[in-house]
Amino acid sequence: MINLNSKISRVFAGRRSALPADMTVPPLSVSVFPGDAIADIRERLIDDVIRVLRPEEWRAQRCEQWYGLLRPWVEAAIPGPPAAPADPAAPPAPLGAEPWPLAPDSDVYGDHAGWWIVVDATGEHELSEAYPTRELAEREAQRINGADPNAEWYRHWFAFQGGVS
């Protein structure tokens, strides 16, 4: 439990490998993506606090009581309007493979018009051949995203200050 004099504060933004050498790995972190709003990051941080402090409750279900209790600390750690961008400088996910529909233009795509491909998070690079259904392209995107377990995600890192019991 966080004692009443505690606070949560952001101590770093970036990838784990870029943490300053003199900083121990903070116990809390949340992934931050382009387009995330402050409200998104707050929800992820509350989930992570519950995961760290009360793992049995975190695994079981979302506990509204914890959300109400933690919200003031999280709002202080991540100030601003809920709809405001969380981090305009956040880079895309390490690869961020996702399905992308090909236009139904047979002059351009021939027999593959209206099919699906997999592209990276920027939409600039094709990562797969064409698939006739979105479901097949989604499976391929999941396979590609899971292929590099060492890929680092951009995160905001937080620490407890003032004590946790």
Flag whether pLDDT at 109 surpasses 90.
no
Q: What is the pTM of this model?
A: 0.65
Flag whether pLDDT at 14 surpasses 60.
yes
Give pLDDT, residue 49.
85
Flag whether pLDDT at 139 surpasses 60.
yes
Least confident of 17-21, 104-108, 149-153: 149-153
Distance (Å, whole) CA 54 – CA 103: 48
Contacts (Cβ under 8 Å, ≥6 apart) of 126: 117, 118, 119
pLDDT digits (tens, 9 = 90+) for 45-73: 988 888 787 777 655 555 677 788 888 98
Contacts (Cβ under 8 Å, ≥6 apart) of 140: 97, 118, 127, 128, 131
Query: Which segments within 5-154 are labelled E, that is strand?
Result: 7-14, 28-31, 98-101, 116-119
Which residues, listed in sequence order, are joined to residue 41 by a DSSP beta bridge? none
Distance (Å, whole) CA 95 – CA 147: 10
Distance (Å, whole) CA 55 – CA 71: 18
Give pLDDT, residue 3.
59
Give pLDDT, residue 149.
61
Give pLDDT, residue 57.
65
